[in-house]
Structure 1
Amino acid sequence: MSSAEGFSDFFYAAPDGLRLHARIYGEANSGHWPVVCLPGLTRNARDFHDLALYLSQRADTARQVVAFDYRGRAMSAYDPEIAHYNVGVEAGDVLAGLAALGIDHAAFIGTSRGGLIIHVLGALKPAALKAIVLNDIGPAIEAEGLANIRSYLERSLKPKTFHEALDAQRRTHGDDFPALSHADWARMVGAIHRKTDAGLIPDFDPALVDTLAGVDFSKPLPDLWPQFDALAATPLLAIRGGKSKLLSAATLEDMQKRHPGMDTITVSGQGHAPFLETGDLPQRIAEFIDKANARH
């Protein structure tokens, strides 16, 4: 346990034997659901650090929080088979991690790809999902947004120092995130890089970028509306960045129509995907989960 940082490292075996990692914040509490945090395509458990501390240390409703590193990200092993970097395999990895931890149900928070994994989990093990927070993701994604992600990953710079990395992130994403402070950008840079003798490098398997190479953005992207409709009875909070290119306002409206009980938050001055530790988002997420837990 790294008491100074507020979490412990947990390693477990994927169904195919790959060594995977998650961070565990707080202690199991029989009165309160645990929270499972699932990051974006090339992101990792560090994205949720501040939110996880908040959720795990609240005086009245402290919850255990589990934040996963998918295979090929951060402290999880890289997979030599690129085809295994897909939402279905990663959903199976999450279920294996939860089984290893003895967690049979939880509130789930999914950013981008993490939200797609939640849709798959709803089909594989619906009883596990007690409440859902989707961060800038829905059952339909905009081709423009996915193309933008592929573009900046393919042309990503190779900064040697923290300050170079911070400047690169601001130049790449600044127009989409005018609301962020210097401290916000610094946390982002720390979350997505690791230090090596050659300088900072992105903390994910470079082969992940290749998984987007074959996407034809001139054709409609597959959607997950049937899987989303199956979540109609599950308490749901959908967060959208006001400047998001991946989750459109029209899709958010359609989600609301199909899930009338869904709560929504639009985050001004942020794009894809909003930083969940900023503004009043931690409090609003906690209150949403508390309310769902109390109703249950």
Structure 2
Amino acid sequence: MQTTQPRQQALSSKRDVYWTSADGLNLYAADYGPEDADLTVLCMHGLTRNHKDFEPMIAGLNLPVRFIAVDVRGRGKSDRAASAESYLPPVYVQDMAALIEKLNLDNLVLAGTSMGGLMAMIMAKVMPEKIRGIILNDVGPVVEPAGLQRIAGYAGGNETYRSWVDAAGAIGRTQATVYPDYGTDDWMAFAKRTCIEAYDGSIIFDYDPAIVQGMGATKPDWKTNFAMWRLFGVMKNIPLLIIRGETSDILSDKTARRMHRRHKNSTLLTIPGRGHTPALDEPISLAAIQKFITGLMG
């Protein structure tokens, strides 16, 4: 079972950051740790999550680095887009570039979960000079269609719950195979990170339902896979930590091993008893992340 109460002292320095996208959206990120640190870990969440997804990891690490965890447009405290057409990784990367410029960031470690990992791969191509290392959490050049269909089946975003207990119970039922060791307290903590209380007192998911439009129809062909492997190849000179859930239906074991073979400066870590995605607060995850980031420090 996971520890549901993060060490609050590790998060006590949390600062709010707001910036504006090229198309006028007001976007949000949470900023933790020393602002003058040598390294900044830019944390980018998965499709339906938000910046709070990384707080257990941040609390569990003992590192003198700065962490910036974003709410990608349409999630959390960031504005929702006028059109669902802007809910695409290349647009998200433009938003990240605007944040990096606003805060004048260099020496970045990109930590990307699922969709956030795809963003990291694109960023490695467009701004390699700013990146010291990349952590890919359960994602790679090949995304398994079965996993996409499973996520599309529950990630509609329109569900409402009468109470936090109901929300935690529902999330526990849909995510039970991903986190089989979670108990009641863990699911409540999960719900508190992914949901909010609406004006009428009901509990709703903290994202724009439009972000998941068309997911179930995604069927990458060989041309897409070829382009994604080429994109992955751009990362060859950037140290890489690949994290995979043992039972992931998004990142297959075959793809993860191929990634590790092709990237000569990579480490592959499989998290037992986890599907898509590891929470990154597992002891084995924390130890690997700690070692990886420490190795990048000057």
Number of aligned positions between the proteins: 287
Deviation at residue 161 of structure 1 after TM alignment = 0.9
Match of 1:179 in 2: 181
Deviation at residue 293 of structure 1 after TM alignment = 2.5
The structure 2 residue matched to 1:14, chosen from 18, 21, 30, is 21
**Structure 2: how far apart are the matches of 1:144 and 1:156?**
22
Match of 1:200 in 2: 203
Which whole-Å deviations, capped at 9, do the CAs of 1:63-121 have from their partners, x for residues lacking one?
11000101110000011111000000000101111111110231110000000001110
Match of 1:47 in 2: 53
Given the two structures, how large is their TM-score scaled by the length of structure 1?
0.91
**Structure 1: how far apart are the matches of 2:209 and 2:78?**
14
Report the more deviating stretch, 239-248 or 154-163.
154-163
- Cα RMSD, aligned residues only: 2.0
SS in structure 2 of the partner of residue 176 of structure 1: coil
Match of 1:34 in 2: 40
SS in structure 1 of the partner of residue 49 of structure 2: coil
Which whole-Å deviations, capped at 9, do the CAs of 1:191-223 have from their partners, x for residues lacking one?
11011124110000111121425x244856833
Structure 2 unaligned regions, length at least 5: 1-7
Deviation at residue 260 of structure 1 after TM alignment = 2.5
Residues 104/15 of structure 1: CA separation in 2 closer, same or farther (3 Å cut): farther
**Structure 1: how far apart are the matches of 2:260 and 2:70?**
28
**Structure 1: how far apart are the matches of 2:269 and 2:16?**
31
Match of 1:261 in 2: 265
The structure 2 residue matched to 1:113, chosen from 109, 112, 115, is 115
Residues 15/218 of structure 1: CA separation in 2 closer, same or farther (3 Å cut): closer
**Structure 1: how far apart are the matches of 2:34 and 2:84?**
35
Given the two structures, how large is their TM-score scaled by the length of structure 2?
0.90
Structure 1 unaligned regions, length at least 5: none
Residues 262/111 of structure 1: CA separation in 2 closer, same or farther (3 Å cut): same
Q: Is this contact kept in 2: 1:41–1:113, CA < 8 A? A: yes
Q: Is this contact kept in 1: 2:157–2:209, CA < 8 A? A: no
Q: Percent identity?
A: 30
Q: Is this contact kept in 2: 1:143–1:220, CA < 8 A? A: no
Match of 2:151 in 1: 149
